[in-house]
Chains A and B, each alone.
Chain A
């Protein structure tokens, strides 16, 4: 576990990172990059490896070479410790269809040590924050794509961790809620590392995000944040 001070200052370091696609095609070769607190947008054409990079950092996809570390934690040495410091939100956010939204938000909270009453309270508040309180008792399987994404963001942001890995978090969310969620993300992740893959660069750059582009197997700092 990282201390409270480390949480707000830890950097995510990729050293000599190489990642291959499941079919063996090289996606990223020997990349070196350090991510500091703040929101970083990962962009690039379809199939360039944005999601695979996020999955590799979340230890869901093997790295062909190099190391990934968060502060003093290295995933390959202490998987459980490393995973406890991050939240991963997959693309097209998946849900357990037979759980209600309230139960769905409570589950990760319980898995991370929240007591029953505490989990219930936090989940209820986050449902209100993402505008799903009227559908809180509905089964997640009946949610639309946009509602699932909002639920996914609530699922991720309700946890206070140093690293957020969000894969296309706003896909399918309507314009009004997109604005709200973006503001929330930037406010809550000002002193946390948030890596988001997106195709809508303007809306995140306008809020002062870093911009990393995946180009020809390299991570290229396209536009450092003006902060």
Chain B
């Protein structure tokens, strides 16, 4: 806009439309502020500090983060740092993939989508700016991790990792973190509206990268570095990585002696590929740009004319309703126009009736019901909608969140009723407890924490592990492979903790401070 035009319309000089560069900088700035003020930041840092200690086990520890053919390697400070970096990569990749999106799902959830869409910066630049902001965050995140890990290694080995080891750590971790940025942005951009699909796609991408790293040589996690430095004394080609149980003491001496040139090229290529992918995602973000937002704006209706005189109206004098009546009203709301939920319930009931002795088949189908209900957004009642629920007396049984969980668990249990009736009592009890715990988890994360993606992705992962993997009996929380005392204990404890969290969340929902900072201020004020 020309200076003349600015004067003509009385627009002050300082408020002229920002150029694309300035606008993109503003987006980066806003994203950094939003993430810096995330109230979960202190908790995440505390968890990371614990994780860093866990990933640098003492030689006498009953577990290791790496074993070659079942043998525990004894490592130098530098090698410990690099190995911990590889494990961290493997653990954090799905978290980064789900957490660092392009802000689309978040904007929709906060009701900011229309506002953001109306900003003059085009979508490609918006996504590019957000990926750039995430890149800065990832750098900061890994810098903190490096410091924490170095401290943990130094405390164990009484020796600070060498500079080459730090460089190798960065070479191992940064490419995969970079790769998660465009992938996360793409998932958020095109699947952000459907949390279940979003979580499933994220896990699929993770599994694909993991498989290709192990078998196809396209390694995003630095696993090939281990193969290139294979200990000569170990004849077996198998290795385990993660938190692996290993006998105390003993083991073989092993160190990463060289960083092969091929490894450096590979990691450099990955960074280059990530940058290319980020550019491609940013460019593609401009397509189908109006899809989601246009739906929010809605249809046009022929306006009804206002009545000239006030008509007589019928009103309801509220009365107390039975527990079942309230549950029925809530369940009706969930199942209205929800074909997938109906289908899951029908399939679970039919499978349970046909195979009453096959616990896993019916339960796996039934456990999809709460997942689909949550994925439809029925449990996610953000802000004012949650106020409406909290001010409904019929839902205070004992609190709205617990009532929701009980109704959700009852529907799921009804779908596997034939199985529950034929299974041994202890097994049925564990399955019931597991179903209730799962429903509590969904309600707590979706309704109270307002973190539906966290709730749904975790639930989907546990559902997959329970249904389709060979979990050890002690970790089979639902008891789908028979009852187990340890698993029952863990499930009961989780159920109790979540029930208390749901109960307290409703009781003191607004007594909690909105942020960590204000909580600290209140605490200091009281202490002072």
Please give the residue numbers on chain A whose beta carbons come within 8 Å of chain B beta carbons, in ascending order.
1, 22-24, 55, 58-62, 79-84, 86-88, 90-99, 103, 107-114, 118-119, 121-122, 125-126, 128-129, 131-135, 138, 141-144, 147, 157-161, 176-177, 179-180, 183-184, 187-188
Contact = CB atoms under 8 A, between A and B. Distances in A.
11 contacts: A23-B521, A58-B387, A83-B391, A83-B392, A88-B388, A90-B388, A92-B384, A97-B377, A107-B333, A129-B313, A157-B313
What 3 A-B pairs have minimum CB-CB distances, sorted nearest first? A142-B298, A112-B318, A131-B304
Interface in B478-528: 508-511, 513-514, 518, 521-522, 525
Interface string B302-345: 11111100110111111111000110110011001100000000
B49 interface: no
Interface residues of B, number: 56
A78 to B, nearest CB: 10
Contacts of B377: 97-98
A61 B392 contact: no
A159 B315 CA distance: 5
Nearest to B303: A131
A61 B514 CA distance: 12
Contacts of A108: 392
A188 B510 contact: no
A24 B383 contact: no
Contact of A184 (B305, B310, B321, B376): B310
A59 to B, nearest CB: 7
A173 B310 CA distance: 17
Nearest to A7: B317
B336 A103 contact: yes
B306 A83 contact: no
Contacts of B315: 122, 157-160, 188
Contacts of A159: 315-316, 318
B307 A180 contact: yes
Contacts of A187: 310
Nearest to B395: A111
B396 A80 contact: yes
A140 B505 CA distance: 28
A96 B298 contact: no
Contacts of B332: 110
Nearest to A25: B518
A24 B523 CA distance: 10
B216 interface: no
B201 interface: no
Nearest to A52: B510
Contact of A96 (B311, B314, B333, B397): B333
A161 B315 CA distance: 9
A99 B302 CA distance: 20
Nearest to A142: B298
Nearest to B313: A129
